[in-house]
Amino acid sequence: MSGQRQPRHAATIILLRHAQPNGFDVLLIRCPDEMAFLGGMHCFPGGGLTKEDCSPRMLRRCYGLTAAQARNILSAHFAPHQALGLWAAGIRELFEKVGILLAVTEAEKRLVGTAIGKSNFVEKRTALLEKTLSFASFLEAERLLWDLGTILPDDGIWFVPDSGMR
């Protein structure tokens, strides 16, 4: 019998938009069949927390939520830097999985989908996925900040930390 695995911290983003005449649309992804965890299943975009997500370099690129606020929302179970890192992980995973980037410029201008589609972010996303570029380097080079304030329950985007096996 193998030993029990320790769960990894992870983050999931639930993305909603209003649909007409009533209701809303929900973004789901289909995990590749060959994935060990959730292969072939439909789920919300998300994934495991990395050391880089909680690094001082990454946390300096956070906007709209402080480490203390993130900890108060999640629970005292997390250190403030870890709680804030979970928010960053959720946004990172959303960009990795589907190419949606929740960010603001250093001048606090919120990015929109059309602006992202017309930029070189597609190439940068590929480099991130191939691990030839770090997220901190990407954000610094593009002069971007993670828009953590966007993923709050009253904005139609929900952040769901989880401790499921990844």
Question: Which tokens in the block code for residue 75?
Answer: 């629970």
Q: What is the pTM of this model?
A: 0.82
pLDDT digits (tens, 9 = 90+) for 99-135: 888 888 888 777 765 555 556 788 889 999 999 999 9
Q: Within 13 Å of residue 97, how many CA atoms lie on the same side as its CB?
A: 25
Could you give phi then psi for residue 49, rounded to 5 degrees?
-75, 135
Chain centroid to CA 139: 13
DSSP assignment of 82-119: HHHHHHHHHHHHHHHHH----EEETT-PBP-HHHHHTT
d(CA 44, CA 30): 9
The three-point CA angle 76-73-97 to 5° equals: 110
| Residue 147 DSSP SS3 | strand
- The mean pLDDT values, 10 residues at a time, for the chain of 166 residues are 76 82 86 85 90 94 91 84 91 90 84 61 90 93 87 51 39
